[in-house]
Structure 1
């Protein structure tokens, strides 16, 4: 059904949504963004699905934006960039607002958009060997469209520790920051995720959906206006001399001028 995803649902109604571009470290391509948006809608509307587990195939959970997708944005005009960035923003919104518990099974590294993906999960459990980072500023970009979800998860004080520096941090620090609920050894990951899943199976599905909606209403508002402001900020960054230099340096395998 999906080119970049695998969905498997067990007899209990627990659906496992797997990012399935292991050879690309599950980087977010245009196709994966479209697939994830549709999958969130399909799973959200399926009355047989009680809980969704989000994970990745291979060594990485999600390495952020796909390089080809990034190159395409750099070559596009501002209007096209806005449209494509909006697709990414709407994918994150769809996952964040999916009326089912979303449990992150973070089996490997997560950078950039991968941190955003972990942030839209209601709870995320990660392996203790995983590495994380909001690495956009190394390229002259900013963590814009993922920003509202990262801030909602970490809070401003914790986010300031990693949001601007592009510093790589480990799973223990991810727990301290609030990105992960806990980190566990690889052989304990599935049991730790199951411990988060099981309680929902004794809850009323409609009440769970309404409680999730209520937490979003009570918490930090992520409105259409906020989303559009983040998209505009990203588009403006793409047009900057810094991003042109940073991305060119990345593909040329050299240090940017400011490093």
Structure 2
């Protein structure tokens, strides 16, 4: 497909979705939102893929909303704003719910809605020079649509501060509060991301999909009898699955599992 705002490449069972509007710091507009939603919907259905990397071209990862798009929104009715926000919410959900593991490779500054993009990924790696900012309140707005994912990623305590102050903070602070998983030098960012992707690709594709879903379902769930019963069903299901049986057999027989062949 001829993407207008993205570059999508597939190599060795790994897809790389690259935000490709460096002239506007990869800020997103209606087209970007629609293309990201479509890209992750299609890639999620590709049975040959094992992982997806979300990256960006240029000096910034994502500056949030495009200024021209924001000018248009200023004249929207309440109903138009709700419809527009619903599309943004669907874009975020398309990444969060994608059955493939998604790794964010954050090479440059990540602001506002860009933090939403990072937060919906399973794993995020940032260059040490990157800065983050939830800047919405400076514009009289709030980070509402991205909030379920950003709060999950950084925690309520950090959100209490950064949602309200709109302070810019470093990659090291993002790592300290748990928003990103790793911080590396700019020169080592590609290699660090590739190492994580290699680990993902080496594992059972079915188990990785189910493990991703397990985290999402269990993380905020109350510890009830129903939850305990559900986890017992899940492990029984995975043990009796083809890849579950193959994984155990290959381990006992001291050979590589079939999904690595």
TM norm structure 2: 0.82
Higher relative contact order, structure no. (Cα contacts within 8 Å, ≥ 6 residues apart): 1
CA displacement 1:27-51 (0-9 Å, x = unmatched): 0111000000001101100111111
Q: CA deviation at 1:220?
A: 3.3
SS in 2 for 1:69: helix
SS in 1 for 2:179: coil
Q: CA deviation at 1:19?
A: 0.3
1:5 match: 6
2:224 match: none
Q: Distance in 2 between matches of 1:178 and 1:200?
A: 20
1:41 match: 41
Q: Is the contact between residue 159 and residue 177 of structure 1 (CA under 8 Å) also seen in structure 2?
A: no
1:70 match: 70
The 5 Å alignment of 1:243-258 reads none
Q: Distance in 2 between matches of 1:122 and 1:164?
A: 25
Q: Distance in 1 between matches of 2:204 and 2:105?
A: 23
The 5 Å alignment of 1:135-150 reads 135-150=135-150
Q: Distance in 2 between matches of 1:171 and 1:202?
A: 28
1:173 match: 173
2:203 is equivalent to residue 189 of structure 1: no
Q: CA deviation at 1:74?
A: 1.2
Q: Distance in 2 between matches of 1:96 and 1:163?
A: 21
SS in 1 for 2:69: helix
Unaligned runs of 5+ in 2: 222-261
2:199 is equivalent to residue 199 of structure 1: yes
Q: Is the contact between residue 152 and residue 220 of structure 1 (CA under 8 Å) also seen in structure 2?
A: no
CA displacement 1:110-148 (0-9 Å, x = unmatched): 000011111111110001111110000000000000000
Q: Distance in 2 between matches of 1:56 and 1:109?
A: 10
Q: Is the contact between residue 92 and residue 146 of structure 1 (CA under 8 Å) also seen in structure 2?
A: yes
Q: CA deviation at 1:161?
A: 2.5
1:244 match: none
Q: Distance in 2 between matches of 1:115 and 1:68?
A: 20
- How many pairs were matched up? 220
Q: Distance in 2 between matches of 1:151 and 1:100?
A: 22
Superposed CA RMSD:
1.0
SS in 2 for 1:163: helix
The 5 Å alignment of 1:47-66 reads 47-66=47-66
Structure 1 residue ranges, 4+ long, deviating more than 3 angstroms after superposition: none
